[in-house]
């Protein structure tokens, strides 16, 4: 990964689980990069961290909970960090319960649905290129 250009927003996606999760993360990365975002390896350097979860096996669920906690700790020192939680955990558990457990998560995305995150970023004015493309396609 190269160093992001000055002023570009940076994102980090952490994925655990099946090929579908991997594909969803790649699709989200493409959407973000199309709109000018740059990937970073270190979540502490990101403006946005998305955690793509799996709860099919207990070990994967435990790793997801651990990662959510780690990213929550980063947000304590960087309150501007935006956090998205997606994947099976959001699909299998009730969102209000997850919101209570992880109040520092900004947006929850059911499996294979990136639109809630894109809408969240659009509301903050952070997805202009994607908005322009969608307007041209209408």
Q: What is the pLDDT of residue 1?
A: 46
Q: What is the pLDDT of residue 93?
A: 79
Domains of the chain: 10-128 (3.40.50.12160)
Q: Which of 120-124, 126-130, 131-135 has the lowest mean pLDDT?
A: 131-135
Q: What is the pLDDT of residue 56?
A: 87
| Arithmetic mean of pLDDT over the chain | 89
- The percentage of the chain sitting over the pLDDT mark of 90, rounded to a whole number, equals 71
Q: How far apart are CA 59 and CA 46, in angstroms?
A: 26
pLDDT higher than threshold 50 for residue 112:
yes
pTM for the whole thing?
Answer: 0.87
- Sequence-separated (6 or more) residues with CB below 8 Å from residue 43: 12, 14, 49, 70, 71, 74
Q: DSSP label at 11? A: E
Q: What is the pLDDT of residue 105?
A: 97
CA distances from 95 to 16, 67, 75 (A): 19, 18, 20
Q: How far apart are CA 2 and CA 21, in angstroms?
A: 24
pLDDT higher than threshold 70 for residue 54:
yes
Yes or no: say if 126 and 46 are a contact pair by the CB < 8 Å rule: no
Yes or no: say if 78 and 101 are a contact pair by the CB < 8 Å rule: no
């Amino acid at each position: 990964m190269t160093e992001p250009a000055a002023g570009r927003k940076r994102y980090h996606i952490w994925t655990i689980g099946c090929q579908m999760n991997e594909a969803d993360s790649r699709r989200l990365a493409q959407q973000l990069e199309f709109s000018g975002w740059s990937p970073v390896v270190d979540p502490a350097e990101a403006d946005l961290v998305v955690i793509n979860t799996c709860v099919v096996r207990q070990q994967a669920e435990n790793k997801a909970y651990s990662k959510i906690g780690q990213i929550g700790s980063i947000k304590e020192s960087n309150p501007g960090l935006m956090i998205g939680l997606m994947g099976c955990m959001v699909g299998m558990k009730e969102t209000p319960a997850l919101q209570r457990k992880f109040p520092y998560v900004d947006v929850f995305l059911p499996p294979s649905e990136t639109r809630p995150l894109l809408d969240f970023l659009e509301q903050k004015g952070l997805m202009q290129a994607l908005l322009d493309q969608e307007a041209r396609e209408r």
